[in-house]
Every structure is written in C-alpha cells, then in structure tokens.
C-alpha cells in the first residue's frame, strides 16, 4: 500500500469519517473546508496521525503548513521525510 | 502555493467587539494623569467619566446582557448602579494595566494562589493550557508568572483600529508573551500545538468564541445557555497537556489575586465529536459562574453571550 492509500485509510479511521470510502477521496482533494471538510482542530489530529502511522514528526509548523493542503501535498511531505 | 485559508465564520458574524470605547485623546489624558498623579488621579477622573458613560443607553445595554443574568431581580435604579459598577471595574483594570506599563510593575501587587500546583504541571513536560476568561486583569496578574521560566503563548485577537494599549506597549518593551492570532492559518492551532510540544504554556480565553464556528458547544451558564469553545480541551486531549483554569481579580486599590480554580487532565482518544468535550466545557462554565458569584463586577463580557449561540442559527 502506498503512502496516499494508507493516508486515506488512516484519515477515515482515525478521524471517524465514516461516510467516506478511500476511493471517494481524490488525490487533489483539499483537506479542509470544501474538500474533506476538516476543521482547524482536525489539523492537530493530523499532526498526531502522521507521527503515529508514518513515524514522521512535524516539528516546524510554519515550514510544514503547505503540506496540509491536500492528500497529494501531505503524502509528498511524508514521503520526503520517510526517505 | 497559496496559504491555507482560515474558515472563521463566527469572527465575521459576531456582534461584539473588544475595541475600546473612547477616543485616543481621551486615553492620552488618563495616561498623562497616571504620569503626573499616579493611580489616584486617574481613578478620580475615571469615576466621573464612567458616570457619564453610564448615562448612555448604549453603554447600559452592553452591561445589561450579563447583569440581567446575574441580577435578574434588579429594578431600574439597581440596573443603573450595577452598570456603573461593572463599567468602573473595567475602567480600573484598564488604568492598572496602563499603570504597570507607565510606572512599573512594582505599583501593583499580585497574590498567586497555587504556585506549586502550576510548577508541578509544567514539570510534567507536556506543556500547560491555561484557560482564563475576561475577568479581572489577566495581563496584570500574569506579571507574577515569571518564576515559571517557561515561555507563555497568548491566543489573542486584537480588533483593527483598537487604540487600547497593552502594558508592554506603554513600557516600550517587547511583548513578554508570544501572541498567537486566532484569525491566522487554521485558527492558530498549529502554533499552539507546537508550543505545547516544546513544553510551553499556552493561554486561551475559555469564555468567548474565536475562530471556527464548529469549535463551540452549548452549555448552561448563569441561567441561560451559551456557546463556549471546546478547542482547549481537544488540544489537551491530543497533546496530553493538562488544563489549568485560573482567573484573576482585583482585591484592593493596588492589588490583584491570581487563583487556580481547577486543573483537568483530559483523556486521550476522545475523537472528533464535540459532545465528548462538553463535560469539560461545562465544568469551566460552572467555575466561571462561581467566580461571577464571588466577584460580580469583575466579569467583562459586554455582549449578549446568551443570544450568540451557533445552534440557534
């Protein structure tokens, strides 16, 4: 399972997005507002999820903020840190 | 790449403003009086100014939302007198805040109740979330927190064009606190998270909604229902940071107290459902209500909290 697929699955499980299937989440879907509909507090959960499931610690929030745009950007951020 | 836009709809529709009444030159007169005659001179003018403002229906209306809940039985004269006392309480706090900036912090004494408790929580290493309210004067009282030797981050929204100055601005020094703007990206939660991960203190106001609409729950408060934020408790749940509810209040002409009313350890894994956090918000509301019973004229929310609820829309 690649990072994007795993990311979609853990987002659904850990954020309790029960109405969604991983297939319904497109790679360029925004994480917040009109996309997945996450709110500002979910960003906190995202940080925890990324560390828990991918072992990537987000230390600098300013530097990593662009990663919170979409599944694509977050997966890319994780892949870069993992490699 | 464009920055992530905040989705703060409440901030756009909120009916209240924290901007000071009075113009810049009026504030300057008070600052001059503080320099020339100290607190007493500024207070003397304040009594007259507050009396004038209390004559204005718009000012009494702003006071009435809270006073109606706190003193539902009061008659016309009682309502006027209570409005005067509430406004005077705020005026004195603003003067004291300016005074420690202009004349120095030694002109105000602050008594801290719960020093060891705070040190113990900081020593846990998960950061500490201080949940305050618009009561007393947090900035004056916080001047005694230097012993903690841990940076304090303040979630604070400043109105555009507000002429009211903070004590460090009067003193011409850098802010002793790191200010986090709730209108920033994602309501400032990432900055708060980062500070907590460094083991720092994050101070938030638990009695007003700032930022995202969805981060509030309805709880009973002083005979009605209000929407209060649950974000501090969610942050605490995710990070393991303990919550400390503390309020400041004026106890004498030149003295304040800062008292810890409650500490909470929020369990992890509570998920996204805001109902999970309602019990903690309710506890905070009960503590705040207790505070208002003890110090009825040191509660400074001048908007209709009881008619500003998300669920009413």
Contact between B262 and B130 (Cβ < 8 Å) = no
- Residue B205 backbone dihedrals phi, psi, to 5 degrees: -95, 125
Tell me how close the Cα of B163 comes to any Cα of chain A, in angstroms. Answer: 30
Which position has the higher pLDDT, A44 or B23? Answer: A44
The set of residues, in sequence order, having a beta carbon less than 8 Å from that of B76 and lying 6+ positions away, is: none
d(CA B311, CA B313): 5
Tell me how close the Cα of A11 comes to any Cα of chain B, in angstroms. Answer: 12
CA quadruple B250, B20, B84, B26: dihedral sign: positive
- Whether this model's ipTM surpasses 0.85 comes out as no
Q: List pLDDT tens digits, range B192-221.
A: 988 998 999 999 999 988 765 578 999 999
> Which residues does chain A have within 8 Å of residue B272's beta carbon, measured at their own beta carbons?
15-16, 41-42, 45
Q: Residue B202 is inside which H or E element, if any?
A: strand B201-205
The yes-or-no verdict on residue A73 having pLDDT over 60 is: yes
Which position has the higher pLDDT, B133 or B4? Answer: B133
Q: List pLDDT tens digits, range B100-140.
A: 889 988 889 999 999 999 999 999 999 999 999 999 988 88
The first and second tokens of residue B65, run together, are 């939302």
The first and second tokens of residue B245, run together, are 């509810």
| Closest C-alpha to B21, from B85, B69, B79, B90 | B90
Tell me which residue in A15, A44, A61 faces B234 most closely, judged by beta carbons: A44
| Domain containing residue A11 | 3-82
The set of residues, in sequence order, having a beta carbon less than 8 Å from that of B276 and lying 6+ positions away, is: B270
The first and second tokens of residue A17, run together, are 């997005």
Sequence ranges of the domains in chain B? 108-312
| Closest C-alpha to B234, from A48, A59, A16, A41 | A41
d(CA B18, CA B179): 16
The residue in chain A having the minimum alpha-carbon distance to the alpha carbon of residue B231 is A41
Chain B positions contacting chain A at CB under 8 Å are 1, 3-7, 185-187, 189-191, 193-194, 197, 211-212, 214-215, 231, 234-235, 238-239, 271-273
Q: What is the pTM of this model?
A: 0.85
Contact between B260 and B121 (Cβ < 8 Å) = no
Into how many domains does chain A fold?
1
Q: How far is CA A45 from the centre of its chain?
A: 9
> Which residues does chain A have within 8 Å of residue B196's beta carbon, measured at their own beta carbons?
none
The yes-or-no verdict on residue B11 having pLDDT over 60 is: no
> Which residues does chain A have within 8 Å of residue B239's beta carbon, measured at their own beta carbons?
44
Tell me how close the Cα of A61 comes to any Cα of chain B, in angstroms. Answer: 6
CATH code where residue A12 lies: 1.10.1200.10
Chain A positions contacting chain B at CB under 8 Å are 15-16, 32-33, 39-45, 47-48, 59-61, 65-66, 68-69, 73
- CB neighbours (10 Å) of residue B261? 19
What pLDDT band is residue B10 in, cutting at 50, 70 and 90? very low
Tell me how close the Cα of A52 comes to any Cα of chain B, in angstroms. Answer: 12
The residue in chain B having the minimum alpha-carbon distance to the alpha carbon of residue A14 is B271
d(CA B228, CA B218): 6
The yes-or-no verdict on residue B4 having pLDDT over 50 is: no
In this prediction, residues B80-95 reach a mean pLDDT of 96
Contact between B222 and B215 (Cβ < 8 Å) = no
């Amino acid at each position: 399972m690649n990072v994007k697929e795993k990311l979609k699955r853990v987002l659904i499980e850990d954020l309790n997005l029960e109405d969604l299937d991983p297939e319904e989440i497109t790679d360029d879907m925004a994480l917040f507002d009109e996309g997945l509909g996450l709110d500002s507090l979910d960003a906190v959960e995202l940080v925890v999820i990324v560390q828990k499931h991918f072992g990537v610690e987000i230390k600098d929030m300013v530097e990593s903020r662009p990663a919170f745009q979409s599944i694509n950007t977050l997966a890319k951020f994780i892949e870069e840190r993992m490699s | 790449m464009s920055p992530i836009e905040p989705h703060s709809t409440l901030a756009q529709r909120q009916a209240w403003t924290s901007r000071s009444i009075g113009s810049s030159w009026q504030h300057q007169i008070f600052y001059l009086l503080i320099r020339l005659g100290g607190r007493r001179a500024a207070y003397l003018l304040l009594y007259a100014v507050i009396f004038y403002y209390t004559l204005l229906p718009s000012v009494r209306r702003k006071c009435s939302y809270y006073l109606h809940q706190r003193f539902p039985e009061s008659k016309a004269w009682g309502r006027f007198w209570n409005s005067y006392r509430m406004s005077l309480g705020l005026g004195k706090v603003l003067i004291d805040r300016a005074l420690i900036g202009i004349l120095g912090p030694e002109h105000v004494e602050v008594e801290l109740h719960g020093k060891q408790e705070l040190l113990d929580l900081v020593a846990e290493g998960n950061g500490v979330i201080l949940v305050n309210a618009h009561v007393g004067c947090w900035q004056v009282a916080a001047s005694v927190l230097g012993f903690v030797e841990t940076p304090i981050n303040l979630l604070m929204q400043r109105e555009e064009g507000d002429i009211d100055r903070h004590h460090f601005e009067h003193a011409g020094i850098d802010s002793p606190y790191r200010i986090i703007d709730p209108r920033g990206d994602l309501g400032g939660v990432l900055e708060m998270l980062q500070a907590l991960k460094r083991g720092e203190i994050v101070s938030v106001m638990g009695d007003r909604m700032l930022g995202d609409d969805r981060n509030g729950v309805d709880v009973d408060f002083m005979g009605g229902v209000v929407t209060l934020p649950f974000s501090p408790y969610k942050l605490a749940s995710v990070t393991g940071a303990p919550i400390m509810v503390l309020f400041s209040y004026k106890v004498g002409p030149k003295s304040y107290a800062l008292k810890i009313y409650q500490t909470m350890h929020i369990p992890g894994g509570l998920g996204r459902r805001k109902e999970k956090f309602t019990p903690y918000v309710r506890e905070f509301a009960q503590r705040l209500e207790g505070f208002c019973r003890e110090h009825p004229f040191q509660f400074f929310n001048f908007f209709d909290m009881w008619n500003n609820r998300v669920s009413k829309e």
